[in-house]
Amino acid sequence: MRLAMPFVWDERCRAHEPRSEVWVGVSTPAVETAARIDAIRSALVEANATEIPAAPHDDGHLSAVHDREFLSYLQTAWDEWVVAGLPEDPGQDRVVPYVFAHAALTSGRRPAVPTAVWARPGYFAYDTMTLVGPGTWEAARAAVDAALTAVDLVVAGAPCAYACCRPPGHHACRACFGGSCYLNTAAVAAVALLEQVAGPVAILDIDAHHGNGTQELFFDRPDVLVGSVHVDPGAGWFPHFLGFADETGIGDGVGANRNVVLPPGTRDEEWLHAVGELAEWARLNGARALVVSLGVDAGASDPESPLQVEERGFHRAGALLGQLQLPTVLVQEGGYDLATIGRLVREVLLGVEEELA
């Protein structure tokens, strides 16, 4: 087995250590850990893939996707938490919100940015599962560099490239974060690719959860096609509030968003049918480059999703995406079963490059 596709690595992606996630008020062990990318990297090295170090890229790439105030908050959130003494009193060693700027609170008006350090997280975070610690900004920023380096490789002529990075990004919005995501890495990559091709870029998201951040970032844009296949948010799965089939875009972006929603328990054939639908949709809409939001939490043994896709299914999903014959950048999203994550990612990549000439 040999994987020809290069993968991009940045050691700084390991620096984020959320330790826990607060779910229904209970602090549970974090599942989005550095061990995830370590396992993927091992599987790729085993396949003799070439590792490329991430190159630094300008912050301008971030502000093309995210709000300036949001970026500045994320960058300084941990430092201001420490300066305010919150790790000692009340003894919380990660930035975590306690009060939220719910839209209805201010009847749609813009809420004030809190001056209190302990209230500020609730202006920018939309859940309690996405904690900020000393290495969070460094890692999220490095993940963006990794994805942009993968874009560079493809622009330089590689048929495809994979960014082996974390934390994931597809739940991160223009001005808020959640779902274990901080910066929307795939969105940044898509905007960078857009400057290189004469036509729309497609982001196809096969993570088990709806890519709500990516959807919202491009909801009114016809130049970035966003398709996601995921477990039905209405059946009790994150992100709960959106990700339904009737969300097809707004304004100039009508028709440029596509959600394929699957029931819990969905297995290979139905999942692959949905992946094929997304690929065909991107083709019909004239996509000129492809970004894959590559989560593998649809895997049967994953603890965070009820989808039941086998290793073979991931290979075939890669093939369906490779058949588009587009310059392709794959960016790591979710996937939490350390025993299988490496093989599942590797199978997708092998499937993609088998089809891409």
Select from 21, 145, 268, 337 the one that contacts ligand SP5 (CB under 6 A): 21
Q: Is-contact 356 321, C-beta < 8 A? A: no
By the rule CB under 5 A, 334 interacts with Zn ion? yes
By the rule CB under 6 A, 238 interacts with ligand SP5? yes
d(CA 195, CA 184): 18
Indicate which residue of 16, 57, 170, 171 is catalytic: 171
Least distance to ligand SP5, CB of residue 273, Å:
22
By the rule CB under 6 A, 28 interacts with ligand SP5? yes
Nearest alpha carbon to residue 244 among 254, 226, 232, 256: 232
By the rule CB under 6 A, 233 interacts with ligand SP5? no
Query: Which residue number, 177 or 218, has a Cβ lying nearer to ligand SP5?
Result: 177
Stretch that binds Zn ion, among 83-91, 191-199, 204-212, 344-352 (CB under 5 A): 204-212
Nearest alpha carbon to residue 300 among 328, 326, 255, 264: 264
Query: Which residue number, 36 or 209, has a Cβ lying nearer to Zn ion?
Result: 209
Query: Which residue number, 302 or 353, has a Cβ lying nearer to ligand SP5?
Result: 302
Select from 145, 297, 337, 353 the one that contacts Zn ion (CB under 5 A): 297
By the rule CB under 6 A, 295 interacts with ligand SP5? yes
What is the b/e burial string over 104-122, where b = at least 16 CB atoms within 10 angstroms of the residue's CB?
A: eeeeeeeeeeeeebbbbbb
Select from 23, 98, 241, 244 the one that contacts ligand SP5 (CB under 6 A): 23
Nearest alpha carbon to residue 294 among 189, 104, 163, 125: 163
By the rule CB under 6 A, 31 interacts with ligand SP5? yes
Stretch that binds ligand SP5, among 44-52, 115-123, 156-164, 179-187 (CB under 6 A): 179-187
Least distance to ligand SP5, CB of residue 21, Å:
6
Query: Which residue number, 137 or 238, has a Cβ lying nearer to ligand SP5?
Result: 238
Q: Is residue 66 flagged as an active site residue?
A: no
Query: Which residue number, 230 or 327, has a Cβ lying nearer to ligand SP5?
Result: 230
Query: Which residue number, 207 or 268, has a Cβ lying nearer to ligand SP5?
Result: 207
Residues 187-226 close enough to bind ligand SP5 by CB under 6 A = 207, 209
Quote the longest CA-to-CA distance of the chain.
58
x-marked contacts with ligand SP5 along 137-176 as a string, rule CB under 6 A: -------------------------------x--x-----
Q: How many other C-beta atoms lie within 10 A of the C-beta of residue 285? A: 16
By the rule CB under 6 A, 333 interacts with ligand SP5? yes
Least distance to ligand SP5, CB of residue 179, Å:
4
| Catalytic positions, written as ranges | 171
Site for ligand SP5, rule CB under 6 A: 21, 23, 28, 31, 129, 168, 171, 179-181, 207, 209, 238, 295, 297, 304, 333-334
